[in-house]
Amino acid sequence: MKSKTVASTVRALSLLLLVSATSAWAQHGGLPQERKPIHFSGLFNDYVPLSATISGSPYEMHGQWSMDLHPEFGTADFAADMTMSGFGRTPANATPPNAVDPTQPLVNPHTHHIKLTNVRITWDMIGCPPWGTPTLQGFQLNGTVSLITGNGSIGTFEPNPPQSTLQVCVSGGNDVQFSIPNSNMTMVFAGPAANKHFGPQAIHGVVRIAPTEPFGIFR
């Protein structure tokens, strides 16, 4: 009985020493520290222009998006939820006939859910779409989408698994008084399929929630 008690005590002491050593190692940079993600979220509202290569265009797009950055790993996750619908056409005897009629929206309304998962953060705006009022600093995500649906199912325009790529840029003014560094968001889809539905143009949005302290290379 005494030998069993001693053995149990030795095992417990060994476990305590291992936990203490691991904790100390992590505190001194031996292991990555578990940190709360840096969170962004916002809205977007834009249009897909009339195009012979985009069936059913033009479309209007409205939705919300969110982003979690993990600067210690250099990665991020992005998600967007979108409603999308086309427009009606003027009658054949109208002038002009069969033209897009903005007074008849909500033709073929549908939804999309889009995700980027564990993609690399690029701490610059090289290749990001320009804004009418220039933005001065920002960062971007680029990667193959991990999810892209149409009304909850795999999008009919997308292979399974998804192959289309998405660029997401967050930008704004300098970090000075009367300016907001992280104020704008753009999404740009690229081939092989998604840009034939959403268009190759930038989809513009706004940042509603952003960190109040500097982060990443902007510290």
Per-run averaged pLDDT (10 residues), the chain, 219 residues: 49 46 47 78 96 90 98 96 93 86 88 98 97 94 96 89 96 91 96 88 97 84
Report pTM.
0.80
Which residues are within 8 A (CB) of 35 and not within 5 positions of it... i.e. 6 or more apart? 70, 72
Of residues 59, 68, 64, the one with CA closest to residue 82? 64
Q: Which pLDDT belongs to residue 1?
A: 52
Q: Which pLDDT belongs to residue 214?
A: 84
Q: Return d(Cα 190, Cα 203) in angstroms, integer.
A: 12
Q: Which pLDDT belongs to residue 13?
A: 43
Q: Could you tell me if 161 and 149 are in contact, meaning their C-beta atoms sit under 8 angstroms apart?
A: no
Which residues are within 8 A (CB) of 215 and not within 5 positions of it... i.e. 6 or more apart? 38, 69, 71
Q: Cα torsion at 15, 18, 24, 25 (round to 10°)? A: -150
Q: Which pLDDT belongs to residue 6?
A: 46
Q: Which pLDDT belongs to residue 60?
A: 95
Q: Are strands 137-144 and 165-172 parallel, antiparallel or unpaired?
A: antiparallel
Q: Which pLDDT belongs to residue 208?
A: 97
Amino acid of residue 96: P
Q: Which pLDDT belongs to residue 34?
A: 63
Q: Which pLDDT belongs to residue 89?
A: 86
